[in-house]
Amino acid sequence: MSLFAFLGTLEIGLVYGLVALGVYLTFRVLDFPDLTVDGSFPMGGAVAATAIVAGVNPWLATGLAVLAGAACGLVTAFLAVRCGILHLLASILTMIAAFSINIRIMGRPNMALLGEPTIFTPFDNLGWDQLYVHLGLVFLLVLFSALFVVRLLSSDFGLALRATGVNERMVAAQGGSIGFYTYFGLALSNGFVGFSGALFAQSNSFADVTSGVGTIVVGLAAVILGQTLIPGRRIWVAVTAVIVGSILYRLAVAFALSTGMFGMQASDLNLITAVLVAIALIAPKMKGKVRLKAVTR
Amino acid sequence: MKKLKVISALFAAALVIVSAGAVFAQTYKVAVSQIVEHPALDATRQGLLDGLKAKGYEQGKNLEFTFQTAQGNPAIAVQIAKQFVGEKPDVLVGIATPTAQALAASTRTIPVIFTAVTDPLGAKLVKDLEHPGGNVTGLSDLSPVAQHVDLMQELVSDLQAIGVIYNPGEANAMALVDLLKSAASAKKIQVVEGTALKSADVQSAARIIASKVQVIYAPTDNTVASAIDALVGVANQAKIPVVGGSTSFVENGAVASLGFDYYQVGVQTADYVEAVFQGKKVGEIPVTFAKGSDLFLNQQAADTLGITLSEAMLKRASSIKK
């Protein structure tokens, strides 16, 4: 793999690290299987791209994208909490609705940002290599997001949020509102996903409604991959793990893309990616088993 | 010991021969990124490969042809773009809109040739069709939609309503449907839209509109192209003809198609790639529209539906399926 490809892979892994962060918040912390991300990711891109093309400051546009993502989360929470729709279905409803809304937002299915100002533009003109600049800025934004989540979950408020996913009754008994924490958690999670979508669109110069397909799969793979390879109950370990998981997933894709020399063809990509991720998940267990055998002997 | 010496001598000789070969024949590297695999886009790629071969650039000899497909996922298209740019090929080729955008965003220096992009201006791949400027140019596959409407009028007497199935998530398709609407409204023909987000939805979308229209138009939409058999099946049940924007649709049972043979689109793309090989500046090569809209007819399908293909049409056709 060339340096360019490696750095590009790191960058996209970090961008999707925000999706992993969001999925971690819903699946792990809140114990709420949330598929909204397939809609909130492209919505973040759609809102950011539309706002930028309309002349809005790119940072403000990115902020709007976060709010749009959070709004998607609120809709899912409303359907689940207020209307009592099964969590999974509630999120599916938001996800499919978001597809149509995204086309409404952009007025078209694909919006290009080539030549438009983005949050990266001011740094592009400093004379440094664009690749490092993009990677550095994305890294900083992801770092701040991760620090924010660690800080939040460590607080008393975060404790209640985590308790919601573990023992709803206890939270209710302590006078906490399950509904409130669900609303908050889903909004926060999808806010991060919208943020990710906005970064993706600006770094790659286009927003496309189809870019949401499979976001949840990537997010879940990142969370499980990261937490399997970096186990630990501490919050900062878990948050680091899911972001590392996202990068590892992208490295698996990049590796799968370079297997042409082994007689694999282009359409084998998904299969190779799946096999690589499966190996990454199984390998630590195998190691444990081998060790166990040695001990029993 | 002696054996080892012989082997190393042989190895050294082999190295010399190989490196000498490399000096004599320059190898050109072309990297092709395709959004999804379906017959029309695959034909484009094959046409490109064969077109280059006809110009003397042959895979395995003086041409290194790498190819990846994003399997419909724009995030993977971005990763493929990064991978390709890192390999520093001579030319990058993007087949369809998102792959071309991902390539264009990943490099400002390596030439990017797009193909099978319907609306390169809308996709911001180039600022000006005549003078693209940067490192991106290519071939647009904008269908002659107005001619398609004429063709449908010729096929169906007293045409009142055209049905169209497309994926609203596809930039290509949206551009075509807008053109269809304006062309049809000029002739006071109603357009009934049916949308399909996935190829699995094409059949049900076609069922819904089939009873309201006299003909179904199948645009060069990637989703529709993947499920063209299902679309033709529904149309046959409803006893209405399908008219397509890609000539390959006739093979699948459409009564008539007026459009590009995507294989030829690929062959025409080879002209761009060759121009770059010869050192022409990408920014000075104008964007052109794919040439050669051929009329393909399907006599068999017409007979089944009881449609008479006029003598004039049969004369114009470049291929008639019996």
Q: Which three-class secondary structure state does DSSP give residue B34?
A: strand
- Indicate whether B14 pLDDT > 50: yes
- Indicate whether B77 pLDDT > 90: yes
- Indicate whether B317 pLDDT > 70: yes
Contact B71 A1 (CB under 8 A): no
Q: Of B210, B231, B219, B208, which is closest to residue B184 (Cα–Cα)?
A: B219
Which of A4, A7, A266 lies nearest to residue B67, judging by beta carbons?
A266
Which of B82, B87, B123 lies nearest to residue A112, judging by beta carbons?
B123
Chain B residues closer than 8 Å to A213 by CB = 72-73
pLDDT at residue B20, rounded to an integer: 45
Contact A208 B74 (CB under 8 A): yes
Task: Please tell me which residue of chain B has the smallest CA distance to A203.
Answer: B105
- Indicate whether B51 pLDDT > 70: yes
Q: Cβ(A106)–Cβ(A53) under 8 Å?
A: no
ipTM: 0.83
Which of A7, A203, A206 lies nearest to residue B101, judging by beta carbons?
A206
Which of B73, B83, B171 lies nearest to residue A214, judging by beta carbons?
B73
pLDDT at residue A290, rounded to an integer: 61
Chain B residues closer than 8 Å to A260 by CB = 66
Contact A204 B80 (CB under 8 A): no
pLDDT at residue A39, rounded to an integer: 96
pLDDT digits (tens, 9 = 90+) for B99-127: 999 999 999 899 999 999 988 998 999 99
Contact B83 A258 (CB under 8 A): yes
- Indicate whether B9 pLDDT > 90: no
Query: What CA–CA distance (Å, rounded) separates B31 from B26?
Result: 16
Name which of B73, B95, B117, B174 to mutate to probe chain A: the one with the most chain A Cβ atoms within 10 A of its Cβ. Answer: B73
pLDDT digits (tens, 9 = 90+) for B163-176: 999 998 888 888 89
A148, containing H or E segment: helix A130-154
Query: What CA–CA distance (Å, rounded) separates A147 from A134?
Result: 20
pLDDT at residue B13, rounded to an integer: 53
Q: Rounded to two decimals, what is the model's pTM?
A: 0.82
pLDDT at residue A16, rounded to an integer: 96
- Triad A135, A123, A129: Cα angle to 5°: 55
Mean per-residue pLDDT of chain B: 88
pLDDT at residue B7, rounded to an integer: 57
Q: Of B266, B272, B267, which is closest to residue B285 (Cα–Cα)?
A: B272
Shortest Cα distance from B56 to chain A (angstroms)?
A: 24
| Interface check B303 vs A, CB under 8 A | no
Chain A residues closer than 8 Å to B65 by CB = none
Which of B87, B127, B170 lies nearest to residue A2, judging by beta carbons?
B87
Query: What CA–CA distance (Å, rounded) separates A202 from A265?
Result: 31
| Interface check B124 vs A, CB under 8 A | yes
* Amino acid, res. A249: Y
pLDDT digits (tens, 9 = 90+) for B228-254: 999 999 999 999 999 998 888 898 889
Chain B residues closer than 8 Å to A113 by CB = 124
Chain A residues closer than 8 Å to B97 by CB = 110
Task: Please tell me which residue of chain B has the smallest CA distance to A259.
Answer: B68
Tens of pLDDT along chain A (297 residues)? 788 889 989 999 999 999 999 999 999 999 999 999 999 999 999 999 999 999 999 999 999 999 999 999 999 999 999 999 999 999 999 999 999 999 999 988 889 898 889 999 888 777 777 778 889 999 999 999 999 999 999 999 999 999 998 888 888 888 888 899 999 999 999 999 999 999 999 999 899 998 998 899 999 999 999 998 898 889 999 999 999 999 999 998 888 887 665 667 777 778 888 888 888 778 777 766 665 565 555
pLDDT at residue A124, rounded to an integer: 76
pLDDT at residue A99, rounded to an integer: 92
- Indicate whether B291 pLDDT > 50: yes
* Cα dihedral A256/A257/A261/A262 (nearest 10): 20
Contact B85 A4 (CB under 8 A): yes
Order of strands across the sheet with B215-218? B190-195, B161-166, B215-218, B242-246, B256-260, B294-298, B319-321
